[in-house]
Amino acid sequence: MTRIFNFSAGPSTLPEAVLEQAKDEMLDWRGSGMSVMEMSHRGKQFMSIAAELETDLRALMNIPENYRVLFLQGGASAQFSFIPQNLLGDKIKACYVKTGTWSKKAIKDAKPYCEAIISASSKHGHFTTIPNISSWEIDSEAAYLHYTSNETIHGVEFNTTPDAKGLPLVCDMSSNILSRPIDVSEFGLIYAGSQKNMGAAGVTVVIVRDDLLGKCSKLVPPVFNYSEQAKNQSMLNTPTTYSWYLMGLVLKWVQAQGGVTAMEQRNIAKSAKLYQAIDASTLYRNSVEIVSRSRMNVPFILTNEALETEFLTAAEAAGLNELKGHRLTGGMRASIYNAMPEKGVDALISFMREFERTH
Ligand SMILES: *Cc1c(COP(=O)(O)O)cnc(C)c1O
């Protein structure tokens, strides 16, 4: 067996130790005589997996008592519609910050439910910056302020938590959750899909402050009503049990690495050396302003576009896969989430140098 270095933006690479453990426990989970996939979600074995999942996420992110943790379905994309429907209450406006493709989608999907005010946008700079936080126009009558902490496609990341001027701060953390410490108490709601930094596809984590519950529109299906799911431990219906289990294994792995502080140190080291290699070359270029460069997703172009196909083919032959950029932006993208080992980044850098030397 040879495993590649998988630079996919999501679903993405998982820690090998997690896959090994899942393999070992596949047919007989800890003496139960069955696979996690075959367990009743109401049975005591799965209930223990679910309880530990929440406990571990609370510990890793230091989630305060007055926040509920939900494990939902539908992906982060479903939340684009269900956040306004859950949080607006009797308000009619919500503020949004537009920094790339994902925040644009969040805005588009919120529009049927509210007046989506664009507090700031980096569109004019082709989404290569984070608009200066002091210039954001925040409407005090809005129900919340929404932003995307890491734009997975444009490779732009916030390096601080913005001040929402008293509004509940809502954040799509799908592609950088658990990659650095954050203070959950600064947020009203955090949401993230599982398939980038937390496991296999299939679970959407929603961390929501108690006082924001109970305002959901009656038109929302109960499985997407945060209050209903909070009352039912996210088990109003059958959850994606195996994805919950895998997320649990990933959280244990993060813990064993030293938690989010250790992850951050590694992510700084991995991304810094890749950006350094790009900046030092004449063939590769990343156009994101330096302070807003993502530690998770590193897009780059080849200044000689004609070499793109050859670059990708040669990279694959070297065991470096999924480097093709998003269809919207073109070029290349290396996604280097928590689970990408430093030696994967080293291998990519060596390959890029050698490719440049020979071309
Ligand atoms: C991947 C991603 C999404 C969409 O996730 P789905 O699970 O496909 O709905 C939303 N926001 C961000 C920032 C993402 O990276």
Q: Name the H helices within the chain.
A: 16-24, 44-61, 75-87, 101-110, 226-231, 241-257, 259-279, 308-317, 342-358
CA of 104 to the centre of ligand 1 (A): 12
Our measurement of the distance from residue 219's CA atom to the centroid of its chain's CA atoms, rounded to an integer in Å, reads 28
Looking at ligand 1, which residue's alpha carbon is closest to its atom 13? 174
Q: Choose which residue among 174, 224, 329 to substitute to test ligand 1 binding: the one with the highest number of ligand atoms within 8 A of its C-beta.
A: 174
pLDDT value of residue 351 = 98
Residue 105 has pLDDT above 90, yes or no: yes
Peptide bond into 84 cis (omega under 30): no
CA of 120 to the centre of ligand 1 (A): 21
pLDDT value of residue 133 = 93
What does pTM read for this prediction? 0.98
Q: Which residues share a beta bridge with 192?
A: 205
Q: Domain boundaries in the chain?
A: 17-256, 259-358
3-state helix, strand, coil in the chain (%, to 5): 40, 15, 45
pLDDT value of residue 314 = 98
Q: Choose which residue among 152, 326, 336 to substitute to test ligand 1 binding: the one with the highest number of ligand atoms within 8 A of its C-beta.
A: 152
pLDDT value of residue 156 = 98
pLDDT-derived band of residue 282, with 50, 70 and 90 as boundaries? Answer: very high
Q: Choose which residue among 12, 77, 203 to substitute to test ligand 1 binding: the one with the highest number of ligand atoms within 8 A of its C-beta.
A: 77
Our measurement of the distance from residue 179's CA atom to the centroid of its chain's CA atoms, rounded to an integer in Å, reads 9
pLDDT-derived band of residue 88, with 50, 70 and 90 as boundaries? Answer: very high
Q: Choose which residue among 72, 80, 81, 175 to substitute to test ligand 1 binding: the one with the highest number of ligand atoms within 8 A of its C-beta.
A: 175
CA of 171 to the centre of ligand 1 (A): 12
Residue 129 has pLDDT above 90, yes or no: yes
pLDDT value of residue 328 = 87
Looking at ligand 1, which residue's alpha carbon is closest to its atom 7? 75
Q: Which fold, 259-358?
A: Aspartate Aminotransferase, domain 1 (3.90.1150)
pLDDT value of residue 1 = 78
Looking at ligand 1, which residue's alpha carbon is closest to its atom 14? 174
pLDDT value of residue 6 = 98
Pocket of ligand 1 (CB under 6 A): 10, 75-77, 102, 148, 152, 172, 174-175, 193, 196
Residue 163 has pLDDT above 90, yes or no: yes
Contacts by 194-197 with C-beta closer than 8 Å and gap 24+?
194/243, 194/246, 194/247, 195/10, 195/11, 195/12, 196/9, 196/10, 196/12, 196/152, 196/296, 196/335, 196/337, 197/296, 197/337, 197/338, 197/339
CA of 276 to the centre of ligand 1 (A): 28
Looking at ligand 1, which residue's alpha carbon is closest to its atom 2? 174
pLDDT-derived band of residue 274, with 50, 70 and 90 as boundaries? Answer: very high
Greatest alpha-carbon pair distance for the chain in Å reads 63
Q: Which residues share a beta bridge with 96?
A: 118, 146
Write down the CATH number for the domain with range 17-256: 3.40.640.10
CA of 250 to the centre of ligand 1 (A): 19
pLDDT value of residue 224 = 98
Looking at ligand 1, which residue's alpha carbon is closest to its atom 5? 76
d(CA 202, CA 26): 18
Which positions are catalytic? Answer: 102, 172, 196
Looking at ligand 1, which residue's alpha carbon is closest to its atom 6? 75
- Segment 45-68 shows an average pLDDT of 98
CA of 194 to the centre of ligand 1 (A): 9
Residue 359 has pLDDT above 90, yes or no: yes
Atom of ligand 1 nearest to the CA of 150: 13
Burial (Cβ within 10 Å: 0-12, 13-18, ≥19) of residue 259:
middle
pLDDT in tens, 197-236: 999 999 999 999 999 999 999 999 999 999 999 999 999 9
CA of 256 to the centre of ligand 1 (A): 26
Atom of ligand 1 nearest to the CA of 194: 7
pLDDT in tens, 12-51: 999 999 999 999 999 999 999 999 999 999 999 999 999 9
Residue 145 has pLDDT above 90, yes or no: yes
pLDDT value of residue 44 = 96
pLDDT in tens, 328-342: 889 999 999 999 999
Atom of ligand 1 nearest to the CA of 79: 9
Q: Are 240 and 75 in contact (CB under 8 A)?
A: no
pLDDT value of residue 239 = 98
User: What's phi and psi for 153, nearest 5 deg?
Assistant: -90, -40
Average pLDDT score over the chain: 97
pLDDT in tens, 304-329: 999 999 999 999 999 999 999 998 88
